[in-house]
Amino acid sequence: MLNPDSVGRTFTGADVVTVTQSEIDAFAGVLGENNVIVAPPTFSIRITLAQSQQLLSDPDVGLDWSRLVHGDQKFQIHRPIVAGDTLRCSSTIENYKVAAGNEIVTVRSDLHSGNELIVSTWSTLVVRS
């Protein structure tokens, strides 16, 4: 079970991720897009999925990532990601509830380049009982 003290805490990554053109090309290529400059709207999941999982795997948080199902997803894109962006991820458990024995956790992850907020994402994750 999630530690209730985790709700509202923000965990900020120590590392900065530098986005490469080849990563953007590979992601866009799967969707049938070539010669793109800006990343597709959902590209940031490539960064936030791994980073939020790492940030929220602290035993103090108490989130069981092995039984998670992705419930919903939202992106707010302040400006599109481009190659050369150096992004730092911070993740916050914004909401937590238990319904029918399942834990429902809303994780917000923000990607900043320096002080500029580039993308905010919200993932609702369901831990199946």
Partner 1 sequence: MIEVGSVIAQKVFWIDRDLLKAYANASGDQNPIHQDEVFAKSVGLPDVIAHGMLTMALVGKFITDWAGGSAPVKEFSGRFVKPVIVPAGAKVDLTVSGTITEVHGDDVRIDIMATSAGVKVLGMSKALVSFSQMSSL
Nearer to partner 1, 45 or 93 (CB): 45
Candidate ranges 43-51, 87-95, 98-106, 108-116; the one touching partner 1 (CB under 8 A): 43-51
Asked whether position 70 contacts partner 1 by CB under 8 A, the answer is yes
How far is it, in rounded angstroms, from Cα 22 to Cα 27?
A: 9
Binding of partner 1 at residue 36 (CB under 8 A)? yes
- Is residue 46 part of the contact set for partner 1 (CB under 8 A)? yes
How far is residue 95's CA from residue 105's CA, in Å, rounded to a whole number?
A: 6
Shortest Cβ 4–partner 1 spacing (Å): 25
What is the rounded distance in angstroms from the CA atom of residue 71 to the CA atom of residue 53? 16
CA distances from 58 to 35, 38, 53, 119 (A): 39, 33, 9, 24
Q: Which residues bind partner 1 (CB under 8 A)?
A: 23, 26-27, 29-33, 36-42, 45-46, 49-50, 69-80, 122
